[in-house]
Amino acid sequence: MKKLFEYANYHEFLSDWFKAHKTGENHCSYQTFAERAGFQDKSSIHAVVTGRRDLSKNGVYKFIKALQLNKKETKYFRNLVGFNQAGDLATRKSYFERMNSIRTAGAGVQARIMRQDQYDYYAQWWNSAIRSYIGMHPFKNDFKLLARSLYPAIKPMQAKRSVRLLEKLGLIKKGKTGTYVLTEKHISTGKEVAGLGVLDFHDTCTKLACAAMAHLPRSERHVSGMTLGVSRKCYEKISEEIMKFQQKIRGIVDADKGSDRVYQMNVYMVPFSKPGNWSKRKTQE
């Protein structure tokens, strides 16, 4: 199985750990693990492994003891649990940074660069905007022009750092004439590596969209929405249709020969109520 430091989800790590310890000299059943950790029954262990239950602070201590983790692994596992169970973005970011620091302590620089830089790409909204801008306009090293070409404008130093980051990640490169070009037309995010940065990115984009609604005329932006009552099955069907719609939009953009402006399009579908008839349920209780 993979090393603990390669995991960004502790439930997944535990699941793989038990699969790896099903047989052989290091065999360990749920019952044996429960006894080693100090739990009364194996069902509690299984609930944590399958993700149906989270770990308390005391539970983390018991699992570390049963897993027989060393000092570095213990520190990483504690922060990994905190990262997965954090209730807000700022706390998740804090745990992520600690995890990255622990993971790469004593490791090669390349491992640190690849994970941190992929996070950094989505941590600032202008990185994706600059990448799209370079795909449309000839750009060499005029960072002042690049910075003020964005909306809202950023600082030239921020534009310069962004271009360096895009180069490091292999998303752009210098052509023979010194003009930057895209290496790929489209990119996608990794499941866990960039996941936290993506949350930060969407949060920032939402705030920028609110500012755009206040300052840009309707002819330059489009905003629409619906409030719907749906079942879980209907929600999943709509989600599938949204993915198809995004693919259709991508095709329209690919066929566009006169691109001259960067737009950000986000599609949100979030719940405004809890599942089930809660008012009726409360009365029955």
The pLDDT, as a whole number, for residue 278 is 46
The pLDDT, as a whole number, for residue 136 is 92
The pLDDT, as a whole number, for residue 97 is 82
The pLDDT, as a whole number, for residue 109 is 39
The pLDDT, as a whole number, for residue 199 is 73
The pLDDT, as a whole number, for residue 106 is 57
Sequence spans of domains, the chain: 4-106, 120-227
| pTM summary value | 0.59
Tokens for 33, please give them.
């693990």
The pLDDT, as a whole number, for residue 160 is 96
The pLDDT, as a whole number, for residue 40 is 84
**Fold of the 120-227 domain:** Arc Repressor Mutant, subunit A (1.10.10)
> Low-confidence residues of the chain, pLDDT below 50?
108-114, 189-193, 278-285
pLDDT tens per residue across span 234-247? 999 999 999 899 88
The pLDDT, as a whole number, for residue 193 is 45
SS3 sequence of the chain: CCCHHHCCCHHHHHHHHHHHCCCCCCCCCHHHHHHHHCCCCHHHHHHHHCCCCCCCHHHHHHHHHHHCCCHHHHHHHHHHHHHHHCCCHHHHHHHHHHHHHHHHCCCCHHHHHHHHHHHHHHHCHHHHHHHHHHHHCCCCCCHHHHHHHCCCCCCHHHHHHHHHHHHHCCCEEECCCCCEEECCCCCCCCCCCCHHHHHHHHHHHHHHHHHHHHHCCHHHCCCCCCCCCCCHHHHHHHHHHHHHHHHHHHHHHHCCCCCCCCCCCCCCCCCCCCCCCHHHHHHHC
The pLDDT, as a whole number, for residue 2 is 84
**Fold of the 4-106 domain:** 434 Repressor (Amino-terminal Domain) (1.10.260)
